[in-house]
Structure 1
Amino acid sequence: MPLPFIPLIVAGAAAASAAVAGKKGYDSYQNMKETKQIAEQLESRYKNAYNQFETSRDQTNSNFEEYGLLKLEILDGSIKDFVNEFKQIKNVNFSNKAVTDEFVTNQDIEQFVLNIEKQVVKAGQVLTAGVASIAGGGLAAMGAVGATTTFAAASTGTAIATLSGIAAQNATLAFLGGGALSAGGLGIAGGTMVLGGIALAPALAIGSLIFASTTEKKLHEMYAKKAEVNTEVEKLSAAKNVMNQISSTTNSMKDLAESTNKLFMDYIYKMKSVISQKGLDFRNYSTEEQSIIHTNYKLAIIMRDVLNTTILDEKGQLVGNLQSVITAKKKAVTDLKGN
């Protein structure tokens, strides 16, 4: 007996519906699988880029702080020692051609000693208060900005506040964590803007697309998110390169300061020996001994120039021609080693 025609149609329709449902289910599964795969790849890529950037940022900040501390220690150490010894010498005259190749007036000498003595006093005050007291990235500011600028306050009582204030007003220092909006200036927001508006945390809401209902639309949204993440990764990479360049330059300045200071301390020792043996009247020194005093003076100038060299301008960017400055100062120190 033939089967009723209508039940067969119903059965066929049911089978077709099941096939369509199965196809949709499979497509949905595939969409979900692909969405998750893309999300995992994006999350991994972004986190890797962000972690690399964070490492560079932390290293840059650390380098600034180390160089800032070195500056303070040099000012409170060899520079202070030089001022104390050099000031005792009477009748200093750098006009003898056997001693100097350029004429230096007594007024120039006195003004130079007076200026660096002010920095010595302020550096001593900061160190006496303790490095821990330099809040808000002040130590990093000391490393990134010239000593003259960081100690530009009217009185020694504001030296520490000045250091912290500079950190807040310098975009990169603020971005490194040294400044706060409450301290004035651009603050962290300004630092972020200068470095290209990169995200400060990996909060790209990738997960919301993974756990949402998986549809073709969500897969398209994940592809759009992929483009967004790629843009952020490029920004992180660019910012990392900026940090690495700043960090490298800071290390070069630190190395220059250390090598100059080493030679400077050697000549300060020689100057002390001259004073101990010949007294305090420059006129009683031999040509060689006068040359030792003059070399001390020249090294003090080089040391001052190195410590006063600014690495970052007020916009948080590397100052131009720093490498040429470093090269010139290295040559000047090398030339003095032969004396």
Structure 2
Amino acid sequence: MPLPLIPIIVAGATAVSAAVAGKKGYDSYNNMKDTKELAENLKYKYKTSSTNFQLSRDDTNRTFENYGKVKLEILGGTMKQFVESFKQIKNVTFKGEAVTDKFVSNSEIERFVLHLETQVVKAGQIMTAGVASLAGGGLAAMGAVGATATFSAASTGTAIATLSGIAAQNATLAFLGGGSLAAGGLGVAGGTMVLGGIALAPALAIGSLIFAASTEKKLLEMHAKEAEVNSELQKLESASTVMAQIRATTKSMQKLAISTDKLLASNVGKMENIITNKGKDFRNFSVEEQVIIHNNYKLAIIMRDILNTTILDEKGELIPNLQSVISAEKQKISAI
């Protein structure tokens, strides 16, 4: 008599199997949906973060280039004017309370003017050749590195090559797009790049990771990939933060350089008027006129120190305590 029950049991088993299969299908559908949504979300987050990073990188490069151009213009403009006028004055002696609170020897004055003249000449040569001659990150290097370091070469061509070489050897400058990026094992598209001590995985690697996960991996594996991607996104955001600090410091230095240049230009104009009206012998100048000449000298030293201040070291990291340097130079200016 149990034989008639077999079709019923089979039917019941079939129904259960169908229900289980339906549940698995439903779960599989949800998993695929969640996986796809998660992948799309990660792609969007990465695209946004990557775009912001690229914009930050381009902005940082432009900031260095702008400051580099300002440095060249100051050296080829007001500093050149100072050298040409100051060199005309004979028998310059900065001593006595009416002129200075610190004795400055004649040899010290001569060394300073000679050193400054060298920078002025080389800046003029580069400007004559055209800013376009500073291809390969040279203009950015001029903004990031002190003028003394960038003008260590002997002629125009080698000076330009030196600037480009600095860009190639400096990690951040190279990453921003300057110089031969093969130098020091750095590359344009691949490998790990260092920016302020932060390792950046190549964008292509992250992109392929996301696409592979969205098409081939299960939801559980996708969550594991999510942690990896978020880690890389944090690196991009951290690098953008570092570059923001670099830009802020560079803009502060540029602002200080421009304001000091305006003050120096005004004083150089006064010095030229003294030379025109009183001649070129420092001994014939009044105490007030001698003070003006001395103020020109002190401002030129401050201007030189500002232009010689390096923002990034060889590793591409921001030089510490630059804000203190800026404050110190401002105090010197206020004292004049």
| TM-score normalised by structure 2 residue count | 0.93
5+ residue gaps, structure 1, are none
CA distance in structure 2 between the partners assigned to 1:186 and 1:129 by the alignment: 31
CA distance in structure 1 between the partners assigned to 2:286 and 2:29 by the alignment: 93
Amino acid at match of 1:68: G
Check 1:101–1:332 CA distance in 2 against 1; reply closer, same or farther (3 A cut).
Answer: same
Given that 2:172 and 2:194 are in contact with CA atoms closer than 8 Å, whether structure 1 keeps it comes out as: no
CA distance in structure 1 between the partners assigned to 2:138 and 2:233 by the alignment: 30
Amino acid at match of 1:209: A
CA distance in structure 1 between the partners assigned to 2:100 and 2:239 by the alignment: 47
1:66-124 deviations in Å (ceiling 9; x for gaps)? 00000000000000010111111111111132011111111111111110111111111
Shift of 1:11: 2.6
CA distance in structure 2 between the partners assigned to 1:270 and 1:210 by the alignment: 71
Which residue pairs with 1:209 in the alignment?
213
Check 1:328–1:70 CA distance in 2 against 1; reply closer, same or farther (3 A cut).
Answer: same
Given that 1:138 and 1:166 are in contact with CA atoms closer than 8 Å, whether structure 2 keeps it comes out as: yes
Shift of 1:186: 4.8
Given that 2:274 and 2:289 are in contact with CA atoms closer than 8 Å, whether structure 1 keeps it comes out as: yes
Partner-residue secondary structure (3-state), 2:236 = helix
CA distance in structure 2 between the partners assigned to 1:11 and 1:191 by the alignment: 62
Which residue pairs with 2:308 in the alignment?
308
Identity %: 64
Which residue pairs with 1:20 in the alignment?
20
Q: How many aligned positions are there? A: 330
Shift of 1:188: 4.1
Farther-moved stretch of structure 1 (88-97 vs 173-182): 173-182
Partner-residue secondary structure (3-state), 1:100 = coil
Amino acid at match of 2:271: M
Which residue pairs with 1:246 in the alignment?
246
CA distance in structure 1 between the partners assigned to 2:128 and 2:18 by the alignment: 83
Partner-residue secondary structure (3-state), 1:193 = strand
Check 1:130–1:185 CA distance in 2 against 1; reply closer, same or farther (3 A cut).
Answer: farther
CA distance in structure 2 between the partners assigned to 1:94 and 1:191 by the alignment: 55
Given that 2:43 and 2:207 are in contact with CA atoms closer than 8 Å, whether structure 1 keeps it comes out as: no
1:16-69 deviations in Å (ceiling 9; x for gaps)? 222122111101101011101211221222222222222222221111110000
Amino acid at match of 1:324: S
Check 1:186–1:95 CA distance in 2 against 1; reply closer, same or farther (3 A cut).
Answer: farther
5+ residue gaps, structure 2, are none
Which residue pairs with 1:198 in the alignment?
200
Which residue pairs with 1:114 in the alignment?
114
| TM-score normalised by structure 1 residue count | 0.92
Shift of 1:191: 7.9
Which residue pairs with 1:11 in the alignment?
11
Shift of 1:13: 3.0
Given that 1:170 and 1:186 are in contact with CA atoms closer than 8 Å, whether structure 2 keeps it comes out as: no
Check 1:61–1:329 CA distance in 2 against 1; reply closer, same or farther (3 A cut).
Answer: same
